[in-house]
A and B are shown apart, each in its own frame.
Chain A
Amino acid sequence: MAAAVAVAGFAPVAQAQEEAPRGDVTLRVAVTQEIDSLNPFLSITRTGTDVLRTAFEQLTTYDAATLAPVPALAERWEPSADKLTWRFTLRDGAVWSDGRPITARDAAFTFDLMMRDETARTANGNFVALFESVTAEDERTLVVRTRSPQATMTALDVPIVPEHVWADLDPGAPPTFPMVGSGPFVITEFKEGQYTRLVANDRYWRGRPRIDRLDFVYYRNSDAAVAALRNGEVDLVNRLTPAQFDELADEPGVSRNKAKGKRFNEILMNPGAADSAGNPIGDGHPALRDPVLRRAIAQSIDTRTLVEKVWGGYGEPGSGYIPPVFADFHWSTSRPFDIAGANADLDAAGYARGPDGVRVDPRSGRPLALRLLAHAGTNFDEQSAPYIKGWLGELGIAVQVQAVSDTKVNEATTRGTFDLAYSGWSANPDPDYVLSLQTCAARPGADGKGATPDSFLCDETYDALYAQQVAEFDRGRRAELVKRMQQRLHELAPMVILGYDDMLEAWRSDRFAAFQVSPDPGGPIMNQQSYWGYYSATPIARAEEGGNTGLVLGAVGGGVVLLAGVGWWLARRRAASADERE
């Protein structure tokens, strides 16, 4: 039986089953990001984790509609009175895709491996940082002891792996296929830079998915992915640009989904980077240590215009630190866009304008010439940078935009070698992780390693609130604390929250019924917190191919290039004939 599951991915093996005969209904998903790894301990990319979420269950998952933690492998859980000991009861009857039962030992093995092995902590180490011990009391009972109360215990985003497969493996090893998993799909094939293929898991405890296969096909750019969607080569595409999304509005057989994003986009303002011991590092402009200047900058960026122009209206202007999609924890605010007011504030604070109109820092005597690090190749950064430069120019700040590779931006923001820098994080339903980024503890060691800072903020008030919220188990009271933290961030302004972009998706509605979005309503189909989108895929009667405008345009573009080439070749040929005629 296990072999049959594996084989089905490669050949159309006809197989008799009780109710669901294996057909060949495939959901083909276009992705534009390469998968870093399919090792559940290593994968951190959006696409990699999205694939793995469909193949490996966690102890808990998130409710499709509300994103509140709901049972998955664990059917119930119970903290002790001091919130230090958690007792998870695993589901009876759930089995791995190879037929072996899923027990508490598998979960204990997974967490224990992460506590023992640094490699196994690569992707999700933050969840076990406070763990003291993990034991399987019996087949169905998992007991976790933590050193201090941890509010994220019901939202442990850790794929549970089968002990009988991973016990003898190096946790950093590339996976072998088919991967024995517990989710609705089984990963059977992976070709780097090409595709990842999954087949339906017949033994999935919630019941087999309604489709037989799930293919993630890699496209190098989103125009190619959209063309493939129009031609019916793929069924689901996400991360569309506003222009593409608008264009697909009238496409027959294609439906669109505009989902609220869970990511906030920000510009960091180096508030005086320091390492974990408090020693200054990096080379940030000293004037940015002044909150008055940082607030003036924040006030001079019109996030509303950015949303309108850069995102074509598909997004929400900057507000609190936690994106509005997580309504419980979001703190709603808006900074008025007021360059005149910001100018007056800076005049009052002694930032006099030099002869070239650029203000001078009264303390260091240095002109306010700031570097703005942008991610080269990221649409939002490249398109919004000219706006930022224009607005801050009116404020008397000379901005030099430096578009560099993602790695370089990460390096600079980890070592403090920046003035202004684009950044952004995808928040989780549980806000702990993104909140932790702004604490003193998030500052790295002197060598720039050991922690991931965001803004290098180190504020006593904020840290005290952080410690309170992580130990607060009442959702309402915790949300109150989280909102106060966001207010504090707003006042100190170590960053400007630029906005939250919508996730724009489209799918072939002539082949598939509407997908389950999460959160519902307003959520995305792909890159959910859970697997509801792919699991809900329901095929409908197949209709035939759509238009081919993309192809025509491609031909026109190719024609222009060809024309140029021919012209050049003609010129050369004429010259050559002149040469020969000597």
Chain B
Amino acid sequence: MRRGGVVGGLVLVVVALLAVVAPWVTDPAGLDVTRVDGPRLGAPSGEYWLGTDENGRSVLLLTWWGARVSLLVGVAAAVLSVGIGTLVGLVAAMAGGWVSAVLMRLTDFFLVLPSLVLAIALSTVLERGVGTIVLAIGLTSWPGAARLVRAQTLAVAARPYVERAHALGGGTVHVVVRHVLPGVVPLVVVNTTLAVGTAIVAESTLAFLGLGDPTAVSWGAMLRTASSTGAVTAGAWWYLVPPGLAIAGVVLAVTVCGRALETVLDPRLREPR
């Protein structure tokens, strides 16, 4: 488990680094369709290691730059979703009473809504763009986190030391920040990590369905143009496989990494030695 987590973490670090340095080590002009002159759907060659797309752009370059959008959206949406979930869960658990009842019914409502359908609806109504995708994923995937955080908060808040803190005159804010939150944070961290994987898949799905920013390069968008321009019929596997493997690889790395973190932060999950 641990070793897998380390490998996953390394993969993520490498991918993230590549994504960050892309503007400096590659020439963004290679993404501008008006300035490239590669062959249309050209097979992999010495010049284009992973072949070219229908506009003559390098698939390698597209996959590289696609990581930027996919990772950005993945992380931002996961943070947004877990952030909302944590806030709702914490407030529901600490406030109790009707506030809790209202918040949890709201959570239940979002929990039963099919999130992909809701995300599609949202990104159709709002303007196209990366921000919209983040919002659509974030707003539809928080209920799980809210339920988890509420349960954990209730468990932590019932511990004697929290009661002691109250008895010693600690205000609600003090108790939450100093005593409850530290007990909840590990769970939130793990949850965020796992949510990144889901968010990356959701982003690719939405982009594949054509709901993303049409001018942004992302893995889902690459798969979409590949299938809409007949790359399958043309046998241009080099246009389909790299973004597909990239999505699968990154999501796998994130998941493995999240599971490892879980065992690190929660001693009960550690493998016996």
Contacts and interface: CB of A to CB of B under 8 A. Distances in A.
Interface of A: 221-223, 226-227, 240-244, 246-248, 305, 309-310, 312, 374, 376-377, 379, 382-383, 385-387, 389-391, 401-405, 549-550, 553-554, 556-557, 560-561, 563-564, 567-568, 571-572, 574-575, 578-579, 581-582
Given A377-B210, A385-B215, A403-B128, A568 B232 contact: no
Given A243-B41, A383-B54, A571-B252, 16 more contacts: A221-B228, A223-B233, A241-B229, A241-B230, A312-B40, A376-B210, A379-B228, A383-B55, A387-B34, A390-B32, A390-B33, A391-B34, A403-B128, A556-B237, A564-B252, A571-B4
B157 to A, nearest CB: 24
A564 B244 contact: yes
B229 A390 contact: no
13 contacts: A241-B228, A244-B230, A309-B56, A376-B128, A383-B54, A387-B33, A390-B35, A402-B128, A403-B128, A560-B241, A571-B4, A571-B259, A575-B259
B256 interface: yes
B215 A386 contact: yes
Contact of B227 (A221, A305, A309): A221
A582 B268 contact: yes
A431 to B, nearest CB: 32
Contacts of A246: 234
A377 B124 CA distance: 13
B14 interface: no
Question: What is the predominant secondary structure among interface residues of chain B facing chain A?
Answer: loop
Interface in B213-267: 213-215, 225, 227-237, 240-241, 244-245, 247-248, 251-252, 255-256, 259, 262-263
Interface string B28-54: 000011110000110000000000001
B108 interface: no
Contacts of A568: 248, 251-252, 255
Residue of B4, B56, B229, B247 most packed against chain A (CB within 10 A) = B229
B269 interface: yes
A244 B272 CA distance: 57
Contacts of B232: 223, 550, 553-554, 557
B252 A567 contact: yes
Given A312-B40, A574-B4, A575-B259, A567 B54 contact: no
Contacts of A221: 227-228
Nearest to B262: A575
A383 B54 CA distance: 9
A244 B233 contact: yes
B233 A383 contact: no
A227 B248 contact: no
B17 interface: no
A564 B225 CA distance: 21
Nearest to B245: A560
A247 B233 contact: yes
Contacts of A403: 128, 210, 214
Contacts of A390: 32-35
A389 B247 CA distance: 28
A130 B75 CA distance: 62
Contact of A226 (B32, B230, B244): B230
Given A383-B55, A571-B256, A401 B230 contact: no
A227 B248 CA distance: 27
B248 A563 contact: yes
Nearest to A570: B252
A367 B78 CA distance: 36
Contacts of B32: 386, 390
Nearest to A574: B1
B271 interface: yes
B227 to A, nearest CB: 7
Nearest to B271: A578
B127 interface: yes
B248 A560 contact: yes
Contacts of A572: 255
A405 B233 contact: no
B128 A578 contact: no
B42 to A, nearest CB: 12
A226 B229 CA distance: 12
Contact of A382 (B1, B124, B211, B214): B214
Nearest to A248: B233
Nearest to A224: B232
Most buried by A among B34, B256, B263: B34
A374 B213 CA distance: 11
A550 B233 contact: yes
A382 B269 contact: no
A386 B233 contact: no
B212 to A, nearest CB: 9
B69 to A, nearest CB: 15
A376 B214 contact: yes
Nearest to A309: B55
A247 B40 CA distance: 12
A574 B271 CA distance: 11
B255 A247 contact: no
A571 B255 contact: yes
A243 B237 CA distance: 13
A489 B234 CA distance: 40
* 9 closest A-B pairs by CB: A564-B248, A241-B230, A390-B34, A244-B230, A243-B230, A243-B234, A403-B214, A575-B259, A244-B233
Given A382-B214, A568-B255, A574-B259, A243 B233 contact: yes
Contacts of A387: 33-34
A384 to B, nearest CB: 9
Nearest to B55: A309
A58 B214 CA distance: 43
A278 B232 CA distance: 50
A404 B248 CA distance: 29
Nearest to B36: A309
Given A376-B210, A563-B248, A581-B272, A227 B55 contact: no
Contacts of B235: 247, 549, 553
B264 to A, nearest CB: 12
A13 B241 CA distance: 50
Contacts of A582: 268-269
Contacts of B262: 575
A136 to B, nearest CB: 50
A237 B245 CA distance: 32
Contacts of B127: 402
Contacts of B256: 571
Which of B55, B215, B259 has the most CB atoms of chain A within a 10 A radius of its CB? Answer: B215
B126 to A, nearest CB: 11
Given A383-B225, A386-B33, A387-B34, A247 B234 contact: yes
A223 B241 contact: no
Contacts of A401: 128, 213-215
Contacts of A310: 55
Contacts of B251: 564, 568
Given A382-B225, A564-B251, A578 B1 contact: yes
A556 B104 CA distance: 44
